[in-house]
Amino acid sequence: MTFLLALSRAIDAINVRIGRSVAWLILVAVLVSAINAIIRKLFDSSSNSWLELQWVLFAAVFLLCSPWTLMDNEHIRIDILSSRLRKRTRDGIDVFGHIFFLLPFTIVMLITSWPFFLNSYRINEQSLNAGGLPQWPAKMLVPLGFLVLFFQAISELIKRVAIMRGQLDDPNDRAGGHLASAEAEAARLLADVEATRLLADTQKS
């Protein structure tokens, strides 16, 4: 198990680095969108390549940051149900879901998306839109994204089994999930509003 945990830490470190780097593409996409809008307004000129570049950047962020999202437990859950379950039950559901749903899904996507990319690359597929971008770089993101998600799924499975065996502390104890987090944030905001109101009343008096 020691080797598997070391493997899990290595996968986590790689995917965190990928996620943090790729996340900057959001800023690039915003800049591309802003520059495109300015040029269109000022010079009445635009290009489909600018629009398609925004789509590719968004796809890169969505696909390559998904393992980081999974690792930080920020993916969508039905918290109104999971928050009512015992922690061991939630861990068991995670293990079952990773083995029978997430891992098979990533494998299927890898098998089907690789020819999808390869065929596009071989013919140097171009956009159907005038002035658009080559299509194969965008299609390459699909197998690449599911490859890193596959390894992250393995990492999460290793960690969840180790947690259930008492060999690892849970860094993302979800007792309450996102619902509890949202309630805590709402309570904090209400406390801030109340403190501001009391301060204003004190200053008036």
DSSP string covering 121-152: HHTT-B-SSTT--BSHHHHHHHHHHHHHHHHH
- pLDDT, residue 28, reads 96
DSSP state of 90: H
**Burial (CB count <10 Å: 0-12, 13-18, 19+), residue 189:** exposed
On whether both 88 and 134 belong to a single domain, the answer is yes
Residue pair 50/191 in contact (Cβ under 8 Å)? The answer is no
- pLDDT, residue 2, reads 87
- pLDDT, residue 65, reads 96
Spatial distance between the Cα atoms of 95 and 156, rounded to a whole number of angstroms: 9
Report the SS3 class of residue 75: coil
On whether both 126 and 197 belong to a single domain, the answer is no
- pLDDT, residue 175, reads 45
Cα 158 to chain centroid, rounded: 20
On whether both 113 and 155 belong to a single domain, the answer is yes
- pLDDT, residue 203, reads 74
On whether both 39 and 89 belong to a single domain, the answer is yes
Q: What average pLDDT values come out for the chain (205 residues) when binned by 10 residues?
A: 92 96 96 91 86 95 95 74 80 92 97 97 93 94 98 96 89 55 66 81 73
On whether both 111 and 193 belong to a single domain, the answer is no
Residue pair 129/52 in contact (Cβ under 8 Å)? The answer is yes
- pLDDT, residue 79, reads 64
* Tokens matching residue 67: 């393992």
**Backbone CA torsion sign across 156, 18, 23, 127:** negative
On whether both 7 and 83 belong to a single domain, the answer is yes
- pLDDT, residue 80, reads 65
What are the residues facing 126 on neighbouring strands? Answer: 134
- pLDDT, residue 176, reads 46
On whether both 106 and 8 belong to a single domain, the answer is yes
DSSP state of 62: H
On whether both 43 and 92 belong to a single domain, the answer is yes
pTM: 0.80
The Cα angle at residue 132 between residues 41 and 42, in degrees rounded to 5: 10
On whether both 118 and 62 belong to a single domain, the answer is yes
Report the SS3 class of residue 86: coil
- pLDDT, residue 91, reads 87
On whether both 162 and 94 belong to a single domain, the answer is yes
Range of the domain at 205: 178-205
On whether both 157 and 191 belong to a single domain, the answer is no
Q: Please state the domain count of the chain.
A: 2
On whether both 87 and 186 belong to a single domain, the answer is no
